Structure 1
Amino acid sequence: MQQKKSFKYKIFTGIAIFLIILVSGFFMYVSSYYKASSLALDSLKSDSLVKVEENGDILFEPVSNAKNIGFIFYPGAKVEPSAYATIAKEIASNGYTVIIAKMNFNLAILSPNRADSIISNYKDIDTWVIGGHSLGGVMASNYALENDEIKGLVLLASYPQDKTNLTGKPIKVLSLWGSNDKVADLNKVKEAKNVMPSDSEFIEIKGGNHGGFGDYGHQKGDGESSITNKQQMMDTSKYIIELLDSLR
């Protein structure tokens, strides 16, 4: 009997140690993330065209001539939401409300339906577009597939999961990637055209890289960009604005 108790104790102790190591490893992983750099931080300031509010999510609201179209953005894995402020503010300056979603532990995979509460909080917006960078784009694709409120999808250096097929959805799709991206699988990014509506736009930004869609410094393993970070973000904003304009 004593041997059985001792054996059970060892099992429980082993499981407890394993769980402690697992949880500790997770928190060590998520505690290190990419933080917004100066250009993005400057874009968090309100001005005559755009009002910026941070309350978990980050809202970029046009001061005047606001349209009834909203854009929800899911950040890339382990990237601070504010790193995408430059793109968001540029889009908002053209009359579109933009909300950068705050994800649990900066991982969109842990908050895949974050858009639910955002949509419910903005009743005056009746047309929604969702987008995301890298892993954020994967989760945005899933959300677009499952929610009819979404009329547009923007993928930045991203592609949907194998189970996600949007060919039959009445949705506008824009996919952008940098030619010097060494993080995303660019073959999969381009092949995603096979599971998207026939009028989807797939555009390569020459000289851009993976991290250039935000302002958070060089991402580990990424290629070197031959264009400026600001240029990549402005090009990206332009293409997204064109998609939003097409929904008016």
Structure 2
Amino acid sequence: MAPATPPMLQLMFFLVFSQYFVSGTNTNGGTNTTTFTLQNNCAYTIWPATLSGAGSPQLPKSGFELKPNGSISLDVSEPWSGRFWARTVCSVDNSSSASGGRFRCGTGDCGSGRIECNGSGGAPPATLVELTLDGYGGLDFYDISLVDGFNLPISIDVQGSKSCKSVSCAVDLNALCPAELSVVSDYKSVVGCKSGCDAFNEPRYCCTGAYSSPATCNPTSYSNFFKKACPQAYSYAFDDSTSTFTCPAALNYLITFCP
């Protein structure tokens, strides 16, 4: 969920997490289909992206443009695990004209050089939505993660089941981000807020080395900044108890950017 750095370690944790849950009981026999609807309520164009976990089929699109008020629906057969995020401040670099220009983004870039990410994850900082469908015990698991930092607000609404909780990080943390965590665009505006791990690459912020267990890796002032603003979201690697949500096999999920 780069070199052997904390973001890559986080992706490794995500893939292990996904593989564990997908290997659980599949009560639906792999025949049900879930629809993800992605809605852009931001005042600007974004480029959402998807990454499937280990053993899960790829979604019909791994990256696409979504203009203000635009939406797109993607179907996937269960069981499935993966993540969604949005890339922002994107453009085509025409300096590499031999290949028709390289697609680049200021936040969440997946490094493919194209709008499609083709199996690559997003570079921090990026707000993540992580889901496992029909996982352990036949349940869906879902969360919003700020472990890789923040680039825009996101919400998850479960459709088809009244018993499942909606989750959101609706605050624009870019406007509140400490200077030492801020990612600034060419136009001098803050477009992303790094995690303490990404900003400082120290074990106590990354839950690595001597801090690699829940007993030794505790919240820091930076993870507390994220948690105070978005109490339902993951703020650091071991923030499970208040940040993972379950649902009995929902039919559809609405993921809204800038809710």
TM interval, shorter chain, is: under 0.3
Greater share of helix: 1
Greater share of strand: 2
Taking structure 1 as the reference length, the TM-score comes to: 0.28
Q: Which has the higher contact order (CA 8 A, sep 6+)?
A: 2
